[in-house]
């Protein structure tokens, strides 16, 4: 099911200008990478998609479900999983308890959540830590645990905000493999500044600038913006710079 933003306006306070202003944008099912400079509004967009915040005007819909309809909010949140940019943890819980707890918060039965947690933890390569307290994990391990939490309740749409921050190169590769694995089963939108390798894991690229889409299209189309002189390994960065007029990521 597509995720639609329809004439969406969002401002953090009444006195500030909107971060998102009458935005119309649809994300088709598949793996989409959301790019854009710092402050472009990527996290804001994902938080709106997760129903963690509500637009002051317009609406967000996942299929037929509206993010702000209190009658169907439970269904919406069950179908949509969100990894915020700064996930918070209860450090005294074990990894399994924590992931199961998040599954339970998302509407799973306690036993079902407890049983689903090890598979989610396995997907991020943390099985060896399953009984360890969350507070003893390194930053990168905690980030992987946060990804496991986003996976545990088999959502239809995953909104992952900078999921690879703090991951070592092997774990980044593993995360990309996971995206490939999820392809076709789950709809995934990933916000990132990490654009070295988009071809394998993503179907679509959206570049956001000042709360508006500057580009939306396939990875090959995005890459076609690259400077012809750019070296092969830097073509995606070059395309990004050509679109936004800067190499800042
Ligand atoms: N809680 C908040 N209160 C007020 N303004 C905010 C808040 N969160 C974000 N903003 C502002 O909203 C704008 C968009 O921020 P947002 O975090 O959505 O951008 P982003 O594209 O995710 O940036 P980054 O790549 O740095 O994470 C920025 O100007 C930011 O200063």
**Residues 239, 134: Cα–Cα separation, whole Å:** 39
Q: How many CB atoms lie within 10 A of CB 164?
A: 20
- Distance from Cα 130 to the centre of ligand 1, integer Å: 34
Separation of CA 137 and ligand 1 centre (Å): 28
Protein residue closest via CA to atom 30 of ligand 1:
39
> pLDDT tens across 41-67, in order?
999 999 999 999 999 999 999 999 999
Please report the pLDDT score of residue 249 as a whole number. Answer: 46
Q: Is 81 exposed, middle or buried (0-12, 13-18, 19+ CB in 10 A)?
A: buried
Q: What is the DSSP letter of 168?
A: -
| Three-class DSSP category at 50 | coil
- Which atom of ligand 1 is the closest one to the Cα of 36? 21
The reported pLDDT for the residue numbered 156 is 95
ipTM given for this complex: 0.98
The structure's pTM equals: 0.94
**Cβ-count burial of 222 within 10 angstroms (0-12 exposed, 13-18 middle, 19+ buried)?**
buried
Q: Is 28 left (phi over 0), alpha (psi -120 to 50) or beta?
A: beta
Residue 246's alpha-carbon distances to 12, 136, 165, 217, 249, in angstroms, are 27, 39, 21, 20, 8
Q: Quick: pLDDT tens for 162-221.
A: 999 888 999 889 899 989 988 888 999 999 998 877 888 999 999 999 999 999 999 999
Verify whether ligand 1 is closer than 6 Å to residue 36 (CB atom).
yes
Give residue-wise pLDDT tens across range 193-206.
988 778 889 999 99
Position 234 confidence tier, pLDDT thresholds 50, 70, 90: confident
Q: Is the pLDDT of residue 95 over 60?
A: yes
Q: Which domains does the chain have, with CATH numbers?
A: 3-244 (3.40.50.300)
Ligand 1 close to Cβ of residue 42 (< 6 A): yes
Q: Is the minimum distance from the CB of 248 to ligand 1 under 6 angstroms?
A: no
- How buried is residue 153: exposed, middle or buried, by Cβ count under 10 Å (0-12/13-18/19+)? buried
Tell me the pLDDT tens digit for each residue of 17-35: 999 999 999 999 999 999 9
Three-state SS for 68-122 is CCCCCHHHHHHHEEEECCCCCCCCCCEHHHHHHHHHHHCCCCHHHHHHHHHHHHH
Cβ-based burial of 169 (10 A; exposed 0-12, middle 13-18, buried ≥19): exposed
Give the residue, by CA position, lying nearest to ligand 1 atom 24: 38
Contact present, 215 and 205 (Cβ < 8 Å):
yes
With a 6 A CB cut-off, is 47 part of the ligand 1 pocket? no
Tell me the pLDDT tens digit for each residue of 97-135: 999 999 999 889 999 999 999 999 999 999 999 999 999
Round to whole Å and give the CA distance between 64 and 11: 25
């Amino acid at each position: 099911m597509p995720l639609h933003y329809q004439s969406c306006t969002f401002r953090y306070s009444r006195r500030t200008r909107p971060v998102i202003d009458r935005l119309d944008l649809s994300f088709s099912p598949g793996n989409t990478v959301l790019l854009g400079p710092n402050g472009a509004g990527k996290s804001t967009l994902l938080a709106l998609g997760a129903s963690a915040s509500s637009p002051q005007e317009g609406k967000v819909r996942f299929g037929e479900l509206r993010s702000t309809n209190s009658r169907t909010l439970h269904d919406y949140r069950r179908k949509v999983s969100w990894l915020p940019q700064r996930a918070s943890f209860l450090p005294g819980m074990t990894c399994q308890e924590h992931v199961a707890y998040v599954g339970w918060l998302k509407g799973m039965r306690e036993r079902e959540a407890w049983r689903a947690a090890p598979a989610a933890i396995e997907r991020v390569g943390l099985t060896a830590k399953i009984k360890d307290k969350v507070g003893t994990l390194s930053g990168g391990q905690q980030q992987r645990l946060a990804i496991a939490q986003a996976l545990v309740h088999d959502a239809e749409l995953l909104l992952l905000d900078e999921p690879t921050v703090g991951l070592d190169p092997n774990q980044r590769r593993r995360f990309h493999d996971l995206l490939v694995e999820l392809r076709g089963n789950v709809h995934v939108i990933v916000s990132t500044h990490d654009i070295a390798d988009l071809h394998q894991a993503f179907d679509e690229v959206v570049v956001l600038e000042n709360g508006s889409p500057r580009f939306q299209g396939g990875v090959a189309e995005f890459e076609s913006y690259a400077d012809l002189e750019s070296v092969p390994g830097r073509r995606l960065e070059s395309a990004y710079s050509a679109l936004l007029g800067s190499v800042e990521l």
